[in-house]
Amino acid sequence: MKEYKNFINGKFMNSQSGRTFENRNPADWDEVVGIFPKSTADDINVAIEASKKAYKKWRDVPWPKRSEIMRRAAEILIEKKEDVAKLMTREMGKVIKETRGDVQEGIDTALYASIQGRKYYGYTLPSELQNKSCWTRRDPLGVWGLITPWNFPIAIPSWKIFPCLLSGNTAIIKPATYTPACAGELVQILHEAGVPDGVLNIVYGGGGEIGEALLHHEDIVGISFTGSSDIGKRIGEVCGQTLKRCSLELGGKNGEVVLRDANLDLALDGVLWGAFGTTGQRCTATSRLILEEPIYDTFIEMLKTKTEKLRLGNGLDERVDVGPLVSEAQRETVHSYVEIGKKEGATLLTGGEVYAEGECARGWFYRPTVFVDVLPTMRIAQEEIFGPVLSVIKAKNFEEAIEILNGTVYGLSSSIYTKDLAKAHKAIERAETGIVYINAQTIGAECHLPFGGMKNTGNGHREGGWTAYEIFTEVKTVYIDYSGTLQKAQIDTWEK
């Protein structure tokens, strides 16, 4: 068990409140993973002061020099990959092959930043006047608040930290209360890589207290938030009042469509990985399966057999497929949705109960659950459950399948299994989601491509790839007039 402290201006600090909280292993509640300061607005104020000061120097460091630090961070993360992955499994429960992938996403994002530092392009455009040049550049904004959820403890902080810092901003990160340790390790790696004091600070504590303090502070120029749609709306509201830049990556209710001509074995592997990977606690998790009528009965039979073979247990065991839920409260939420599904008249195909055999009795395990005969309007088909619960819906044909796919308030990820090229293209065109997969599951983003969703999944920004840099920079349009005369756009003519 490690005792963590806030890291502000290059120094470890306790909270001025003197309070702490502990983080426990969801697969083994007896294990305390770490103890953390329970910070207050006073601690946030200190971090913001340090970050403001650091910004004045950091913004002048050339992009390629900043990117060298990002490369060093990637190298250190590569060395520590296994240790960080194991810490993550202990901290939030997902199985070790997935936590290795989570750390790898951090490494990839750091390496992408190391390249991006030498190629962040502006535009050069012709002027409508003679002897005048026009171009754009991108500049940093200042001190950012980065607020992250618990389900991707390295990947999501990385998606924010690397583009934010590479762009010349400074930041305070407030990680989720369930996963503070991994974020703390990442901040130390960046410090070791050469990020100067004050440029990146971490303050631990509750969202309602220090998250709110970040939102309301007048020296914070922007908030980059990933989390639930409910908290996202609150953040958007406060940022709107003070005109802070605000990027929101929120919830999902993702659907996999399997058409009658699909490769069913492939679609089955896709839905098992999409629905029960990370115990269903991914924003892109497959929580709805939409089957075309002719293959419905066959597919649910195949699904039942394979779902029941999934092995539950402590994610550090390489043989385990499904780890625990992150907390007791999350398990209760999942179970309450199972009760709702039953009351709504859906048929429970498998699962629907707590799993407490052997060592699993000490953790927050829940059996992978499948409901069939689900109607698109039922709550289990509409609301984000964030657990291992899959709702299977029957569609008469392709058109109805796409209508069901789009029939939620969310719009993050969708997947269509078919061999029909025309239907695949039509689905890509019609899907109201920021990410569309053809013949692949709803999960599996790559760091160099835009990531984000439509409708209640966000406010139009995209993390990942080059688009993340658009969030963290301001476009500056530059006109240089070398004519030596007064020239007037829209008024002068070239014949003059």
CB of 415 to ligand NAP, least distance (A): 16
Locus of tokens 């909280």? 21
Catalytic annotation, pick one of 91, 98, 185, 249? 249
- Contact by Cβ (8 Å): 251, 228: yes
CB of 345 to ligand NAP, least distance (A): 26
**Residues 167, 457, 459, 473: which binds ligand NAP (CB under 6 A)?**
457
Catalytic annotation, pick one of 164, 246, 283, 360? 283
**Using alpha carbons only, how large is the chain's radius of gyration in Å?**
24
Helix (H) or strand (E) holding 350: strand 347-350
Residues in the chain: 496
CB of 177 to ligand NAP, least distance (A): 4
Tell me if residue 339 falls in helix, strand or coil.
Answer: helix
Binding mask 150-179 for ligand NAP (x = CB under 6 A): xxx---------------------x-xx--
Find the part of the chain contacting ligand NAP (CB under 6 A) among 23-31, 141-149, 239-247, 266-274: 141-149
Find the part of the chain contacting ligand NAP (CB under 6 A) among 31-39, 96-104, 142-150, 291-299: 142-150
Active site residue 249: yes
The DSSP bridge partners found for residue 2 are: 34
Active site residue 283: yes
CB of 476 to ligand NAP, least distance (A): 28
Tell me the DSSP string of 403-459.
HHHT-SSEESEEEEE-S-HHHHHHHHHH--SSEEEESS-S----TTS-B--EETTBS
CA distances, 7 to each of 53, 183, 273 (Å): 16, 11, 37
Asked if 26 is part of the footprint of ligand NAP (rule: CB under 6 A), the reply reads no
| Alpha helix positions (H), 311-397 | 328-344, 379-382
Asked if 17 is part of the footprint of ligand NAP (rule: CB under 6 A), the reply reads no
Please report how the helices 155-166 and 96-116 are oriented relative to each other, as an axis angle in degrees rounded to 10.
10
**Residues 251, 324, 351, 352: which binds ligand NAP (CB under 6 A)?**
251
CB of 455 to ligand NAP, least distance (A): 12
User: Restricting to residues 397-436, which ones interact with ligand NAP according to CB under 6 A?
Assistant: 412
- Contact by Cβ (8 Å): 375, 392: no
Phi, psi of 259 (to 5 degrees): -90, 165
Binding mask 475-494 for ligand NAP (x = CB under 6 A): --------------------
Asked if 106 is part of the footprint of ligand NAP (rule: CB under 6 A), the reply reads no
Active-site residues, by number, are: 249, 283
Binding-site ranges for ligand NAP (CB under 6 A): 147-152, 174, 176-177, 206-208, 211-212, 215, 226-228, 231, 234-235, 249-252, 283, 384, 386, 412, 453, 457
